[in-house]
Amino acid sequence: MTFKPWLDQDVPWLCYKSTKNNLVYFTCNKCASTFYDALFEKLEWKKITTIDVDWNKDFIFSYIRHPLVRHRKGIVEGVVNFFPYMKKVFLDDYQALKFLANVTSVEAHSFSIYRMLGDNALKIQWIPIDTDLDHKKETLRMLKLNNETIPVEIENWFAEQKKQNESTEEELKLYNQLSCMPVPPEIVRYLDFDMCLYDKVTTPPPHILAKEYYQRRIKDLLDQGMNQIQAEEIVDQEVYNNKHTFQKTDHA
């Protein structure tokens, strides 16, 4: 393996492993980690680290959100936890806030996925938490498909759980101000791998996109006064000639 000094993939990052099969959950900070840690602790999964994972045989999964949102939330948490006396400075001083917008990391909460895992990130089944997908239902579906038994009482408890670790008013204010800042080139480069990964995870396959486009375009033409047959003929021709635009909802 080529040594890459900017990576921390040899750090023993926290994971949970099923005691019944090869399912492994990788804890990804700022991606509902407290919420899902609680689930797998209730299921009595064993705490392990990424050092213990068999990256070729284990089925590893985790959760992902838009990298820039995750990064900025991580920066804010790092400031709050380690430099609480600086919160007011960043809130009141534009130049200080501009400096913070250029910081790649304060501590582990703002580490990029690539920094933590390197290319092993490509071996993880990522579940987005900020799209139209119900990540709770998707988690249960994925566990059951992999023969993980979930007691009814735990499934009911999980269904009723709400978002945890709510931000304070001051934290939200700092995050919102940071989010209004231009994204510096250094941050773009730092998150490049994560953005590609996120786009890959959240972009539906072409046949799904085509189906969504077809239904939406038909509705638009019907709203314009065409009948069903006329609308279908036009959309069929557009799809055949590749004269359509697929758009993904922006959840950033």
> Which DSSP helix (H) or strand (E) runs through 60?
strand 59-64
Q: What is the pLDDT of residue 165?
A: 65
156 with 234, same domain: the answer is no
In a domain, 93, yes or no: yes
In a domain, 170, yes or no: yes
CA–CA separation, 47 and 30 (whole Å): 19
In a domain, 248, yes or no: no
Nearest of 22, 49, 17, 28 to residue 121 by alpha carbon = 28
150 with 68, same domain: the answer is yes
223 with 107, same domain: the answer is no
Q: CA distances (Å), 98 to each of 91, 102, 149, 175, in order?
A: 11, 7, 49, 13
Q: What is the pLDDT of residue 159?
A: 87
CB atoms within 10 A of CB 107: 14
Q: What is the pLDDT of residue 249?
A: 40
Domain count, the chain: 2
In a domain, 145, yes or no: yes
187 with 230, same domain: the answer is no
In a domain, 94, yes or no: yes
98 pLDDT band (50/70/90 cuts)? very high
69 with 92, same domain: the answer is yes
Range of the domain at 215: 207-240
128 with 223, same domain: the answer is no
CA–CA separation, 13 and 1 (whole Å): 19
In a domain, 43, yes or no: yes
35 with 157, same domain: the answer is yes
The pLDDT of 2-16, averaged and rounded, is 78
In a domain, 251, yes or no: no
Q: What is the pLDDT of residue 214?
A: 73
